[in-house]
Amino acid sequence: RGVILDDATGKVLWEKDADTPAFPASTTKIMTGLLLAETGRPDETVTAPADTQSVKESSMHLMPGEQIRAEELLYALMLRSANDGCHAVAVHVAGSDEAFAKLMNERAAKIGCRDTTFVNPHGLHDPRHLTTAYDLALMAREAMKNELFAKVVRTQRKTVVRSLNLKDTVMVSRNKWLPLDPSALGVKTGYTKPAGHCFVGCAERN
């Protein structure tokens, strides 16, 4: 499945099964990152909730009660794909993963997404958590309008400042396309066994 959109016009340049629902894995974090960038100040402090260490898979190894600035957390989400960071964002913004997923779905619908249902902020597998290639392209197009988001996703390596776990501060992008193509501007990779390998990219040429 896939689609290529022209950013300026939204015209579909190529597509294959672009409206077929599928599991998005960590490309989900495009919406999580956009909401984080839109709903608060970059210097706002986010505190990791008490159940932080219960979040599975990809992690920035947040510790309960740890504090980190929103901008630094955005780097952890989009470069390292930190699932525990996504949970911290959800609780900070909306009080819970479930309440945050409601905000994600509302924002997706506002962009024009028609076939998206988010149930968590990170993309860990849930059979109800679905979107399409076309909807992901719409989300990425919207997110790249946000100056902070766009700056973060084109970054290959970032050392973040955190209050605890000071031995784990370097966030390295999993987007292997960035160092290979000077025109590449982002955006996000993803992988789970049910989803397979997922990728949303953005490039500027001519």
Among the options 26, 158, 173, 188, which is catalytic? 26
Q: Which CA distances in Å does 117 have to 29, 56, 77, 157?
A: 14, 21, 20, 31
Catalytic residue among 58, 81, 158, 188: 81
26 tagged catalytic: yes
β-strand partners of 117: 130
Q: What is the DSSP letter of 186?
A: E
Measured between alpha carbons, how far is residue 25 from residues 70, 111, 161 in Å?
Answer: 22, 20, 27
The answer, yes or no, to whether the previous bond of 187 is cis (omega within 30 of 0) is yes
- Which listed residue (29, 58, 158, 188) is catalytic? 29
User: Do the bridges between strand 12-16 and strand 2-5 make them parallel or antiparallel, or are there none, so unpaired?
Assistant: antiparallel
Q: 3-state class of 189 per DSSP? A: strand
29 is catalytic: yes
Phi-psi region of 112 (alpha: psi -120 to 50; beta: other; left: phi over 0): left
Strand partners, 189: 199
- Give the residue numbers marked as catalytic: 26, 29, 81
